[in-house]
Amino acid sequence: MQDFLNFLITPLLLKPEELVITMHNYSASIKVSPEDAGRVIGKHGIVISSLRNLCRTYCISHNLNPVNLSLEN
């Protein structure tokens, strides 16, 4: 799952080297640079919502428990 998130999020970032993905039991936290936070969230939260939907679909297709995706500041 962490590789999948890295694959999805890295092209969105201006500073991909600052991307940190932390996996917990049923959650994943994404930490990016302050300049990239707006790019990950998107207008009205469209991008982060789409990332959450893709994570949900990935979990279903790989028979994994659902993962809650959050963005840390």
Mean pLDDT of 5-34: 95
Tell me, what's the pLDDT at 60? Answer: 95
**CA–CA separation, 33 vs 62, rounded Å?**
30
List C-alpha distances in Å: 30 to 9, 44, 63: 9, 18, 22
Domain boundaries, the chain: 1-71
Decide: 71 and 32 in contact? Cβ < 8 Å.
yes
**According to CATH, what is the number of the domain 1-71?**
3.30.300.20
Which pTM does this prediction carry? Answer: 0.90
Q: Which helix (H) or strand (E) holds 5?
A: helix 2-9
pLDDT tens digits, one per residue of 31-59: 999 999 999 999 999 999 999 999 999 99
